[in-house]
């Protein structure tokens, strides 16, 4: 759970290290939360930490299916668009019967799968642009696997920023103090690890 990505030795290593770095942000931002806190929506947004974990797990799964199938497209989803769209919207919601531990377990498993692919996939292989959603470009036939990994990294970073704001709205915790707590770092004049609720101390 690094505060910074490590030095890199080449393109593939850079993709792997920055992917792992952005993946780790979601583990840090969830550190110390209860299930109810992970499910809460403390800002004007409907997003929660748990909902974001569900989304970035599904987002990585979808893109890695495309990477694994390249240069072919994965098998099409034949369900009606309305059904697929509803499933996509529900991806942002932590349900009442889910626990944060369950979500983190699925997230970590998907992270591992993505890291295995970044180690082995042909970065130049073509990834056909899907035509089943209105936000995909119509004037591009294919991306490269390289592009997909960069896109996934940028998506993780964007949603990690959302998660930072939500977490700070829940209990005031910020990223570096959460990393320090999760890593067991000693307090310094610069940084005090997050300690949770200290009102009874």
Residue pLDDT, tens place only, 50-109: 999 999 999 999 999 999 999 999 988 888 878 887 887 888 999 999 999 999 999 999
Measured CA to CA, the distance from residue 132 to residue 55 in angstroms comes to 19
Q: Which stretches of the chain are assigned E, i.e. beta strand?
A: 126-128, 142-144
In the chain the domains, ranked by start, together with CATH numbers, are: 11-183 (1.20.120.450)
Tokens standing for 92?
A: 């942002």
Judged by DSSP in three states, 1 sits in: coil
Is the pTM higher than 0.85? The answer reads yes
Mean pLDDT, range 148-154, rounded to an integer = 98
């Amino acid at each position: 759970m690094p505060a910074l990505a490590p030095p890199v030795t080449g393109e593939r290593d850079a993709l792997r290290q920055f992917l792992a770095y952005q993946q780790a942000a979601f583990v840090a931002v969830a550190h110390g939360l209860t299930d109810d806190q992970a499910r809460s929506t403390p800002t004007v947004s409907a997003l929660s930490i748990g909902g974001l974990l569900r989304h970035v797990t599904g987002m990585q799964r979808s893109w890695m299916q495309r990477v694994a199938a390249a240069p072919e497209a994965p098998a099409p989803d034949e369900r009606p668009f309305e059904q697929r769209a509803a499933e996509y919207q529900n991806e942002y919601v932590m349900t009442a019967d889910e626990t944060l531990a369950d979500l983190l377990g699925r997230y970590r498993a998907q992270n591992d799968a993505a890291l295995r692919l970044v180690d082995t996939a042909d970065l130049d292989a073509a990834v056909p642009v899907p035509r089943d959603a209105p936000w995909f470009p119509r004037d591009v036939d294919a991306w490269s696997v390289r592009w997909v990994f960069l896109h996934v990294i940028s998506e993780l970073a964007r949603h990690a920023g959302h998660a930072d704001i939500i977490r700070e709205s829940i209990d005031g915790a910020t990223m570096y103090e959460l990393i320090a707590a999760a890593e067991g770092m000693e307090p310094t004049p610069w940084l005090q690890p997050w300690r949770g609720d200290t009102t009874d101390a």
